[in-house]
Amino acid sequence: MIMINDIYYQRGYADPVFEDAYVLDLVRPFAADAKQVTAVDETGGEARTYAIDSDVILKVQRPQQLRLSTSLEKEVFFLNQLRGIVGLNVPKVLGYGKEGTVEYTLMTRMPGTAVRYTQLTQDERESALFDLGKMLTLIHSLDIEPFLSSGLFFDIDKTSADISDRLKYLFERALMRLSDKLSSAQIDKAKSEASELLSGIKNTYAVPCHANPGPDHTFVTNSKLSGIIDFADAYISHPIFDIRRWPLDDRKHVISGYISAKKTDTDFKVVCDISTALDNILAKL
């Protein structure tokens, strides 16, 4: 497992909100008819986005939030690999560039609202998650070789041991967050149970992963799945690392959609079951 030191290494840099005129100067070489900045959104963390008119987004890397795992250039590469795939709805890249210290991407705006900010009925939520599972199969079916040769992906799992190690890392990080209320005996027992489960990962594979197609990045329109945004944290690993971004009650619907659209092997079920079992250990603590 190749995991990078994921820290923000420019914390002291200035982080200005750009004037509308400057934003439009960046946009118009790619969208000549752009008229006005209609909103500014900083909820994305590493990036700030400027809504242009009703259908275009300018995404700008925030300098003080720069880290090796996040890359607008990597996102542009990933989105271009996905272009034209029937049944998959992601933003379309209109332009990418760097001007001095400013790195930016211009893309189409995803219609709808992120699931986190919607009030779906249980049936609507299950249907949207089922469709998300189907959409994830299209992402995970991409040829991995262009990703490996692009030089943009540094976080890569190549073997079953790599995938086991990543699950172990995530489990122990979650366990650490609970450590204040647990005894050392409880922690040791949880680690032992996790180690036994992880030994069951024998033969597996890696795919291009979005990294977090969860409630913040999955959009719905009129209660129906409209698409997925934000591929800037993408890496190479097992499909479970995209699927597990949903809580257990939601995850089963994502998995149902996934296996309805893609022939999966025993390995897929084994890794999904192990991931679920690890989360159940944490839930019972």
Indicate whether 3 belongs to any domain: no
The domain total for the chain is 2
Q: Any bridge partners for residue 60, and if so which?
A: 48, 104
Residues 90, 135 within the same domain: no
Q: Do residues 74 and 45 touch, judged by C-beta distance below 8 A? A: no
Residues 122, 263 within the same domain: yes
Residue range 85-92: average pLDDT? 97
Q: Do residues 257 and 239 touch, judged by C-beta distance below 8 A? A: no
Per-residue DSSP letters for 131-143? Answer: HHHHHHHHHHTS-
Full-model pTM: 0.94
Token pair 């939601």 in the structure block, residue? 250
> What percent of the chain stands above pLDDT 70?
93
The tens digit of pLDDT for each residue in 200-252 reads 999 889 999 999 999 999 999 999 999 999 999 999 999 999 999 999 999 99
Q: Do residues 53 and 36 touch, judged by C-beta distance below 8 A? A: yes
Dihedral of CA atoms 25, 30, 136, 111 in degrees, nearest 10, equals 70
Indicate whether 28 belongs to any domain: yes
Q: Give the domain-ending residue among 108, 125, 155.
A: 108
Round the CA-based radius of gyration of the chain to a whole number and report it.
20
Q: Give the domain-ending residue among 108, 131, 153.
A: 108
Domain containing residue 157: 113-284
What's the confidence (pLDDT) of residue 46?
82
Residues 132, 211 within the same domain: yes
The tens digit of pLDDT for each residue in 13-56 reads 778 899 999 999 999 999 999 999 999 998 777 889 999 999 99
Task: Band the pLDDT of 62: cuts 50, 70, 90.
Answer: confident
Residues 78, 148 within the same domain: no
Q: Any bridge partners for residue 237, and if so which?
A: 207
Task: Band the pLDDT of 60: cuts 50, 70, 90.
Answer: very high
What's the confidence (pLDDT) of residue 43?
78
Residues 182, 138 within the same domain: yes
Indicate which CATH number applies to the domain containing 103: 3.30.200.20
Residues 132, 259 within the same domain: yes
Residues 78, 219 within the same domain: no
Which range scores top for mean pLDDT: 1-5, 61-65, 231-235? 231-235
d(CA 87, CA 191): 41
| Inter-CA distances, 97 with 21, 29, 152, 229, 273, Å | 17, 11, 16, 19, 42
Task: Band the pLDDT of 276: cuts 50, 70, 90.
Answer: very high
Indicate which CATH number applies to the domain containing 245: 3.90.1200.10
For Cα atoms 248, 144, 200, give the angle at the middle one, nearest 5 degrees: 45
Q: Do residues 26 and 78 touch, judged by C-beta distance below 8 A? A: no
Q: Give the domain-ending residue among 93, 108, 123.
A: 108
| Inter-CA distances, 118 with 124, 155, 222, Å | 11, 32, 10
